[in-house]
Each structure stands twice: as C-alpha cells, then as structure tokens.
Chain A
Amino acid sequence: MGDEIDRILAGEEEILPSSGFSAAVMETVRREALTPPPIPFPWLRALPGIVVTAVALAVVIAKLAVQTVKAFSAHQVPAAWPAWLAPVLQAPILNPQIVAAGAWAALALLLSLGAVVLSTHLVSHRA
C-alpha cells in the first residue's frame, strides 16, 4: 500500500504559473525597493530610560499602595490624599479589608491600563 500511496502522491500534476506572474512579482519588488525602509525603534538607546522609568514607577506605586493600605486599615486619610476623603473613610460601610482589597484591585487595573496603552502606542508606532 505504501508503494501505491507513493505512486499517487509522487505523481502530482504540476501547474504552470500564469503568464503575468513574474512581471507581477517584479512590479511588487520594484515598489518595495522604492519604499524607504522603516526606521527601527532605537531599543538600545531607549532601554536605560525605560528601565529607570519602570523601576521608579514601581517604587512610587508600591510606596503609595503600602501607605494607602496602612492608612485605610487605621481608618485615616493617607497623607498624600485630599482631606475631603475623611468623611468617606469613616462611613460604616467601608470595611478596612474591603477597602484594602479595592485599593489593590484599583492598582492592578491601573497597571493593566498602563500596559495596554503602552503596548498600543508601541504597536501603532511600528505599523
């Protein structure tokens, strides 16, 4: 049976490219040659700045998050937050654990949003 399958599959009929095929290819290639090459993103130059920014941002966010969680746990307004939030914080509905979880969720959402915006920005620049 192997021989029979070999015979059938090896005996595949050849097709000829259409008459204008090579001309069409050359037209595409000529157009490509006239197009200036895309300027690559200077990753090497940008890398130190990106790393420093990312680390600084992470540190700031972490500090803010820790401070916020601690302050919410103690039913106090974090130092960095406006004073008008005090009555809101003292509302009985605001269980410290729920608020802390909410703060973390908000932080996660913010980070996700930042990642989406950054990647969209990079992709649109490369396209």
Chain B
Amino acid sequence: MFKKILVANRGEIAVRVIRACREMEITSVAVYSDADRAALHVRMADEAYSIGQSAASESYLNVPKILDVARRSGAEAIHPGYGFLSENARFAQAAADASVKFIGPTPAAMEMMGSKTRARQQIEKKGIPLVPGTSRGLGSFQEAEEAAAKIGYPVMLKAAAGGGGKGMRLVHDRKELRPALEAAQSEAQRAFGDSEIYLEKAIVNPRHIEMQVLADEHGNTVYLGERECSIQRRHQKVLEESPSPIVDEKMRRSMGEVAVRVAQAASYTNAGTVEFLVDQDKTFYFLEMNTRLQVEHPVTELITGLDLVQLQICIASGEKLPFEQKDVSLRGHSIECRIYAEDPDNNYFPSPGRITALLEPSGPGIRLDSGIYEGWTVPNEYDPLLAKLIAYGEDRPQVISRLLQALSEYFVGGIKSNIVLFRRILSDPDFRAGRLDTSYLDRLLKSPSAQAKFAEAKHADANIATIAAGVFKILDSTSIVRGADALSTNGSSGGPGTSNWRKTARIEALQ
C-alpha cells in the first residue's frame, strides 16, 4: 500500500480523498493555488504545497508543477479527483513516466474513451446498443445530410472531443442542418482544438442513467448499481439518486452487464462510470464512459456500503477486488443535492464571496461532503460547487423527508446558494412520482403554478420577519459586545435586559 498520496484537486473532493487517506493511515499531500491558501483541503491535509497563481491553467491544470510537488514530497501516487486533470491522458502518462502511480485508468483507456467517435467504434464492434448515428467524423455536409436522412430527424450533432454541451446542436429538419453543422464545427474547434463532429439520433425527453463500475488490475470488473442523473441545468447535474425510480432488478442486471462489457472493451481499470440515455420505452443506449470518480459517487457508496475512494486506492496499489459481483447487494435509497454558490433570483448566476454564517445539517441518514467553512471566501476562479448534501434511508419517501428536514437546517449566509431550489424539487409531485427526464428541471422552473405556490408560501411569515427585524434592531442598539452577549443570554429566558448588567460589568473589567 502507498505511504503518501498527492491529491491534485481542491474543494469538497480534495477533502473527501484526504479523509480516505487518513482512514487508511496514508499521508496526504495537498496542492493549492494563491486563491486557496486558506481552503479547507489545505487545512486538513498532512502536507500542502503552493502551485502558483489562482487561474486554474497556472495551478490545478499545470502538469509540471504538480509532478514537481509529487517528486519533492515523495508521494507515490496521485489522486486526481474529478474535473481539472482527472480525464487527461497526457497527465496520467506524465505521472507514469515520473514513476508516480495515477489513481485511475491507464492512459490508453482514457484516450479511447476521451474521443467519442473512437469509443463508439469500439463499442459498436462489441455489439453493444448505441444511440443510432455515425461512429466517424462527418467528412462533408453531404455525408451529414445522408446520415441524417437515414437515421431520421431530429438529430443531434456532437463534437468528438466534446463535453459540457460545447459543439452540440439539436437539428429538427433538413434546412437547419447546414448552419448547425458549421456552428458546431467552429465551436468545437475553439473549445477543444478539434472540429470533428458526428451525428446521433436525438432521443426525445431521455433519462440520463449511469452505471458505476469498478475494475482491478487482475481482470475483475463489477458493476455497483445505477444512478439516476436526469435532473440537470445547462448540462450540469443538480440532484442524483440511486436506485433510479424506473430501473428494476432485470433492467439493472442488463445495464450492469453492458457497462462491464464497455469497461472490458477498453481494458478499463479502477473506478469508472458508463452513461446511458434511456428513452420513454426504457430502452437504453450507451452514451459515453467517464474515466474518473464522479461527483455523485456518494449515493452509490450509501446503498452498497462500499467506500469507492478507498477501493480506488487499493486497486491502484495492485490489490484484487475484495468481492465479486454476487457479493454486491443494494440496500435502501440515497439522494444527493449539489449545493452550488448560485443565485436562484438571478437565473442561477454564480455567486462567489465570503461566507459570513454557516449552519450545517445533521441527523439520521445525513451525510455532508463539504469544502467550505464559516469565514472562508469562496474564490471567483473555480466551479461553484460548495458541498454535497446526501441522505440515506430505507426507501425513497424516507430519504425525501430526511432531505427536506436537513435542508431546513442548512444555512449558508453572505453568499447566495441554491439550497431553496431543492425544497421545490423534493416537494414537486412529478419528482415524487419519479417522472423525470433531462428537461424536467427547466420545465419545473418555468411552471407558473409551481412558481405561484412558491411565492405564496414565501409570504406566510412576513409578520414573523417584522418582529424579528424589531428584535434585531433593539439588540443591535443595546448590545455592546455582540459575540459575548450571545453567550451570556444563551438559555436565559428574560431577554437581554437581565444580562445588561453582566455586559456592563464585563466591559468595566476589561478596562
């Protein structure tokens, strides 16, 4: 087993990996940019090294600087987390060249899955169900026209090197095809330096369901159940759950077996996720494979009882998987809410800044993977993910109740957050009935009845707010030492009046 691991990431995922290292008695090494000196992952790690300026390209994406820290600190392995360099095959190769173990798949497997057309070609060869489409880049407009006519409109144009919605265009009919193709090509060229575009049948209102796989370096591959990830905005997941409300035992087995075949087609090792689109008839199609630990891995951990990060570390150190497929059993239900620094009243625009107050939830079945603390300033340079609130319970209704309770305890002051959004989702009849697809959230946010109901609930306590505003006004003017005042009045029922003499006495004592 490794003695020292470098965590090449920041935020909640760096904290998550550091926790796993601690539990395994492995020394953890954090890296940080100028903006992150005071970040939680730096405070928690055993060792921490500066890797330069705040811009990610100068720090968390800078391969030579990170490998230099690995060398200086004597780290034997690197955990890349998600995002940043986690799916960068050149980084994995550079680590291998520097004799540092990359905790993830091989560079070859990453490369194969990184190009969507190459992945499609491999998957097609194995006879795995794919979204109908071309598995090679479109050479010309004519080729695109023929392929689209054969598959049938609507079609989706996608960038081979793509991700995050860049270079993607939905085309409803023939006359939209030419401008869409040109736009997608130039966008892909700008975003990825590669203008290769391919074409797929557009599946109407699909669900997005993914399967977690784990493979050791001795040829054993298992699947660990699905995650329902249909609740998204701007191609960004917002809430995930496992199991999916529509996947039964039989469907899980067939999806799981396909996912294992996909992983084996790439000689895949370590943790990975096979994404599927599922149509209204519950037919599933391979979409892509993510060659890293996912943000939403905790829901799988809770229903399987496994620690995926620790298993990743064990696999990378050469150990065999300690269980077989038949040993994997799913129990209960789990839902994750991604808490983002976003302003719900301003079209969910990111909202960095100083956290002036933080009240964190707890209780039965509640897990909080957080990268923030009170008094910390959320930097402007990185993703707005603050924390993940995850609940576990016997069944879906219990998990929803637990989350609603936890959300009511959760408070992030000083910056805006999307905490209020989850109350809306979790109370929505369609969500409760499991009627989900990838456009669900946009629909919910636009729905006038949901908005009206929300506004109505909001005004019920305006009179309470008035009384509170008055109490704050009086306390602000009477209290001289506010922080200490809070302690002395705690538990006394007579209001601040009874403690004024104590305050005065304390101030006199200080003089």
* A and B held together in a complex: no
